[in-house]
Homo-oligomer: A and B are copies of this chain.
Amino acid sequence: MIPHQVRLVEVGPRDGLQNEKQPVAAADKIDLVHRLQAAGVREIEVTSFVSPKWVPQMADNTEVMAGLQRRPGVRYSVLTPNMKGLEAALASRPDEIVVFGAASEAFSQRNINCSIAESIERFQPVVQAAHAHGIKVRGAVSCALGCPYQGEVSADEVERVARLMREIGVDHLGVADTIGVGTPKRVQRAMERALRHYPLSEVSGHFHDTYGQALANIYACLELGVATFDASVAGLGGCPYAKGATGNVATEDVVFLLQGLDIDSGVDLDRLVDAGAFISGVLGRKPVSRVGNAVLAKRPSLQESAA
């Protein structure tokens, strides 16, 4: 049942660094992507094409994309929330674009001032234009396990977004536990509903470690056969609401889990830990990864450079 191979989508450069307070130079972002692909990561969410007024951290999107030395077999994705974003992104030749819908009506209203259905309708021309350029579209369903405004989010709501995403031609569905409150059985129930509209190969899980549940949730998804997961090197991304709390699950921790389960991800853990130590050094802090820190603690020289 558990897959033999898993595809990891490294979201640190985009989802991670976008949520870090400290700005990071384009050269360091490019360096991070190069280190990640050298470690064997085969899918990287690089940047977003959003107004720099809203997301100044990603204002260097074109520069970062242009600076990449692309590797064959690696997929480079960017976030494009609307047609303007897609048009701006096209010159950078992304392999994949990402659009975001919420499973929570309250979240959708508060964040983008429209209903879930309206927000997904607006993606339709973006999806069509992307496909016309041979670009794959990933749809992320945020707040799939809980919402900071409405609290509980039902599996019905997840299925509804999955259906709407499918109807407008979104190729891949990411089920995202944005606030990290999911636990294994509830995650399985949400995933099973997503799987009514997408095949196993086109569903992924995106988990946060705010309450430490991410690896248990990933394991529960693996039991369903889900074989694609987002993760963020060094746990980049922090937490939107509280210092000290953690955000995205650390890629290092996921790779350790997969190795123990004899699941191939193509990623070299030591080189990944190096990449995490590098970007953590840029940010002037320790990696937010238990595996990263445990491995670094056994390598005094690297620990010092990352401290």
Contact = CB atoms under 8 A, between A and B. Distances in A.
Interface stretch (A17-25, A27-35, A209-217): A209-217
How many interface residues does chain A have, given as a range?
A: 35 or more
Given A213-B260, A219-B219, A260-B213, A241 B297 contact: yes
A298 B179 CA distance: 13
Nearest to A286: B244
A252 to B, nearest CB: 9
B253 A211 contact: yes
Given A212-B215, A216-B216, A253-B211, A183 B241 contact: no
A233 interface: no
A280 to B, nearest CB: 12
B244 A211 contact: no
A112 interface: no
A59 interface: no
Interface stretch (A74-82, A90-98, A287-295): A287-295
Most buried by B among A180, A211, A242: A211
A40 B293 CA distance: 33
Given A211-B253, A212-B250, A216-B257, 4 more contacts: A183-B257, A183-B261, A212-B256, A242-B297
